């Protein structure tokens, strides 16, 4: 299983510094609606942004 540091290191090898994410959040599950699309509001709530 990859860690947040692994993902940032992978991105840093392949992208310009300004494109590498500052923060990586690993979730067990992405909130989805009835159609199977990601729910942006649910995602914001999980990340504590709403």
Reported as a single tens digit per residue, the pLDDT across 2-39 is 999 999 999 999 999 999 999 999 989 999 999 999 99
Per CATH, is 4-47 categorized as 3.30.300.30?
yes
For residue 1, name the pLDDT band (cuts at 50, 70, 90).
confident
17 near 33, Cβ under 8 Å? no
Three-class DSSP labels, the chain: CCCHHHHHHHHHHHCCHHHCCCCCCCCCCCCECCCCCECHHHHHHHHCCC
Distance (Å, rounded) from C-alpha 5 to C-alpha 9?
Answer: 6
Total count of residues recorded for the chain: 50
Residue spans per domain, the chain: 4-47
Q: How far apart are CA 41 and CA 43, in angstroms?
A: 5
């Amino acid at each position: 299983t990859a860690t947040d540091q692994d993902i940032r290191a992978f991105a840093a090898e392949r992208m310009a510094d300004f494109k590498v994410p500052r923060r990586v959040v690993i979730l067990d599950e992405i909130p989805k609606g009835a159609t199977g699309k990601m729910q942006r509001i649910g995602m914001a709530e999980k990340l504590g942004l709403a």
